[in-house]
Structure 1
Amino acid sequence: MTVLRIRIEAHDLPGSTCPAVPAAHGADADPGYRNVHVAVQRRDRPAGLLAPQPGNAARASWTLECTATPSPAGTDVTGPYVQGRPGDRFVYLSWGAVGETGTFTMFRRAKLLLGAVPAETLLAAVHSGLLVGRLGLTDALGRPLCARVVPPHIAWTAPGRGQGRC
């Protein structure tokens, strides 16, 4: 077992509002949201959020303390913010509206699939102790990014020791 930090670096955040969208093609209407924030969701605790960031920030980042363990399928990454079963691990970025009382009401999530990290990048990250995922958080419609996120929408790198921002 090896200590591994995962740093998520986000840019191109969509703003502090998410406009309403009418129902179409069998989908429910989206009422729109104000005071939009994004955070990493803790495993097994949807209300457990790591460092909510405003949706209108220039950039956002989170560092997750994890462990990496060799497995028959490659490397298994676990930690308090890593979701899913072995071979299907991921990190949720949860989008929510923050109310007057500070309550975060989630309305969508982006699922960063760790299984989409190239094997050689993950091995280099285990060696260096750091895996970095860089992504934009605005979708093609100008709304908060959601659904499955894999390359090329996220770039995974393993900076060498002493490289990269902390």
Structure 2
Amino acid sequence: MQLAGVRTAAAGDATPISRLLADAIRSSYAGMLEEIPLRRLISTQCALPRIRAEIEIPGGAPGWLGWLVAEDAEGRLVGVAACGVPVPGEGELYALAVEEGARRRGIGTALLAAATDRTRAYEAREQRVQLPVAADPALPFYRERGFAALGPTRWGRAV
């Protein structure tokens, strides 16, 4: 699969973002989280009205820098990320997900790089991510990119 690129999400991306994020959560955490916490995580993170509203925030909001999407050569959305700078100097990665069949092809790395660049533009010197579980399947990805544990589910790095 060829990655066409990473861009800022547009209004028409809300439904594909919601679906991709929900599928990624299900595939990553099935068996790690019980059914009710898994459903709660999906309903909180993937709510279509919330994602639509976040895409539509004109010029962003304090701490919120928006959604990014990765597309394949056919224009199909294969990855998403959301980021912000909620505290001066501290970037936050709110979401990063890649379609299960497209993983390990550089899409997550491209999304993380775009999110990092976006937070650096707002003077972030550090980047943080909160993971749903301590034994998160994404830990190798974050460790390989310089993140270190700040707590059982909180990771960070200098940018």
The alignment's TM-score, normalised by the length of structure 1, stands at 0.27
Normalized per residue, the structure richer in strand is 1
More relative contact order in 1 or in 2 (CA 8 Å, sep 6+)? 1
Normalized per residue, the structure richer in helix is 2
